[in-house]
C-alpha cells in the first residue's frame, strides 16, 4: 500500500511539474511576443530573439518559441547588409525552423517560415541562389496553400514573390495587386488561435499595396 501511495505521489508531482512548466513558458512567451510586436530598434529585436531562443531550449515540447526564434532571426537577416552575418543569422533561423517543423509537421505557418528563410537566402546572391532557394520558396508555399489557402500570410508571400519577379518573367506590381488585396481581405477576418499564435504581416501587406497603387498611377 505504501509503495502504491508513493508511486501515485511521484506521478502527481511529475504531472504538476509539467503543468507548471507549461504555464511558465506560456506566460514568458506572451511577454516576449508583446515585446517583439512593439520593438522599434535593432537591440530590442535582438533581445526578443535571445528570449525566444531561451524559451525554445527550455521547453522542447512547444513549437511556438522555436517558430518565433526562427522568424526573428530571419527578419534580422533581411535587414542585415553584411552577407556573412546574414547567412549566419539564417543558419540559426534554420536550426529553430527544423525544431518547430518536427513538432508541427503539417502547419502552414511553418511552411511560410521555411519560404521566408529561403527568400532571405536568395538576397545574399540572387543570381547564384535563385535556382536552389527559389524552388524551396515555391514548394513551401504550395504546401502552405494546400494546408490552409485562407491564411493571409500564405497569400502575402505569394504576392511578394509576384511583386519582386520581373514583369518579363510573369511578375510585377500589376499582377501582385489583386493578390495583395486578397491577402488584406483575409487579414480582416483572420483570428489567431491564441494571443501568441502568428498574426504578423498585415502592415507589410498594406505597405506593399501602396507601392503597387503608386506604380499603377505613374503609368
DSSP state of 60: T
Task: Please name the residue that has the C-alpha cell 485562407.
Answer: 150
Residues 6+ apart with CB under 8 A from 203: none
pLDDT at 214: 82
pLDDT at 19: 39
Q: Are the CB atoms for 171 and 163 separated by under 8 Å? A: yes
In angstroms, how far is CA 101 from the centroid of its own chain?
12
pLDDT in tens, the chain (219 residues): 445 555 555 544 443 334 344 555 778 999 999 999 998 898 999 999 999 999 999 888 999 999 999 999 999 999 999 999 999 999 999 999 999 999 999 999 999 999 999 999 999 999 999 999 999 999 999 999 999 999 999 999 999 999 988 888 889 999 999 999 999 999 999 999 999 999 999 999 999 999 888 876 766
pLDDT at 52: 96
Tell me which residue of 134, 46, 129, 53 sits closest to 97, measured CA to CA. 53
pLDDT at 219: 60
Task: Please name the residue that has the C-alpha cell 511578394.
Answer: 160
In angstroms, how far is CA 65 from the centroid of its own chain?
11
pLDDT at 23: 52
In angstroms, how far is CA 58 from the centroid of its own chain?
20
Task: Please name the residue that has the C-alpha cell 505504501.
Answer: 2
- Other beta carbons within 10 Å of 195: 11
pLDDT at 128: 95
Question: Number of H helices and number of E strands within the chain?
Answer: 9, 0
pLDDT at 80: 95
Amino acid at each position: 500500500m505504501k509503495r502504491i501511495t508513493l508511486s501515485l505521489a511521484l506521478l502527481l508531482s511529475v504531472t504538476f511539474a509539467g503543468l507548471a512548466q507549461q504555464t511558465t513558458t506560456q506566460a514568458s512567451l506572451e511577454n516576449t511576443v508583446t515585446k517583439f510586436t512593439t520593438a522599434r530598434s535593432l537591440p530590442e529585436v535582438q533581445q526578443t530573439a535571445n528570449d525566444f531562443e531561451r524559451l525554445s531550449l527550455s521547453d522542447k515540447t512547444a513549437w511556438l518559441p522555436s517558430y518565433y526564434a526562427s522568424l526573428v532571426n530571419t527578419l534580422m537577416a533581411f535587414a542585415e547588409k553584411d552577407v556573412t552575418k546574414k547567412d549566419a543569422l539564417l543558419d540559426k533561423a534554420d536550426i529553430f525552423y527544423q525544431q518547430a517543423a518536427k513538432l508541427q509537421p503539417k502547419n502552414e505557418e511553418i511552411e511560410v517560415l521555411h519560404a521566408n528563410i529561403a527568400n532571405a537566402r536568395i538576397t545574399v546572391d540572387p543570381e547564384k541562389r535563385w535556382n536552389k532557394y527559389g524552388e524551396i520558396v515555391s514548394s513551401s508555399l504550395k504546401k502552405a496553400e494546400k494546408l490552409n489557402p485562407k491564411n493571409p500570410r500564405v497569400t502575402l508571400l505569394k504576392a511578394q514573390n509576384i511583386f519582386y519577379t520581373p514583369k518579363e518573367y510573369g511578375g510585377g506590381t500589376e499582377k501582385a495587386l489583386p493578390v495583395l488585396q486578397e491577402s488584406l481581405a483575409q487579414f480582416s477576418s483572420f483570428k489567431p488561435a491564441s494571443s501568441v499564435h502568428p498574426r504578423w504581416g498585415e502592415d507589410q501587406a498594406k505597405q506593399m499595396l501602396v507601392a503597387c497603387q503608386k506604380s499603377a498611377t505613374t503609368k
